[in-house]
Amino acid sequence: MTAVAYIRVSSTGQSLESQRDRVLDYGATTIFEEKKSGLDGARPELANCLKYLRHGDKLIIVRLDRLARSTSHLCQIADQLHEKGVELVVLDQQIDTGTPTGRLMFSMLGAIAQFETELRKERQLDGIASAKSRGVQFGRKAALTAEQIAEVQRKRAQGVLIKDLMSEYGVGKTTIYEALKAEVA
């Protein structure tokens, strides 16, 4: 049996040191490290870690959120580990899927984590809706005012070149073409 660890921090400003110390204390002999957001999609070191694992190995992580992006992603990883005959040890939650209690706790914590994620998303959407109702504008400020759009349309109708309009208003080609298509009130 090999004790293999996967550790991750979300940004380059964070340190892997405390996670590294914890998995080494537990007995990890091989560590895969990553400085990457869980939302970024591809995590090459996680992929390498999952490929490296063999039947009878233990995968050690500090917290569940260091491993997976969502409950469904966590379940996919858990299925992969199960198929390979690899046990998962989660230090913070004291889970060891090598035991029936550990498997139960793992399933429950995964469901709770998904529930928390959904609540957080719901609160975020509520906050955005509330801000919009108070008149808060999201997104980038319009490059051209309605008055400028009308000017662009008028000048183009008079034969002014697109490149000259771009230069005059300090905007890109796409903005000029969008202004030309826009309906002016």
Q: Between these two residues, 52 and 37, which has the higher pLDDT value?
A: 52
Active-site residue (options: 10, 15, 70, 133):
10
Segment 127-153 shows an average pLDDT of: 91
Tokens at 182, concatenated: 């826009």
What confidence tier does 41 reach under pLDDT thresholds 50, 70, 90? low
Average pLDDT value over all residues in the chain:
89
Q: Active-site residue 10, yes or no?
A: yes
**Gyration radius of the chain's alpha carbons:** 26
d(CA 24, CA 73): 26
Please report the pLDDT score of residue 53 as a whole number: 96
Across 51-172, the runs of DSSP E, i.e. the strands, are: 58-61, 87-90, 95-96
Q: What is the average per-residue pLDDT within 172-183?
A: 92
Query: How confident is residue 40, by pLDDT bands cut at 50, 70 and 90?
Result: low
The pLDDT value given to residue 38 = 59
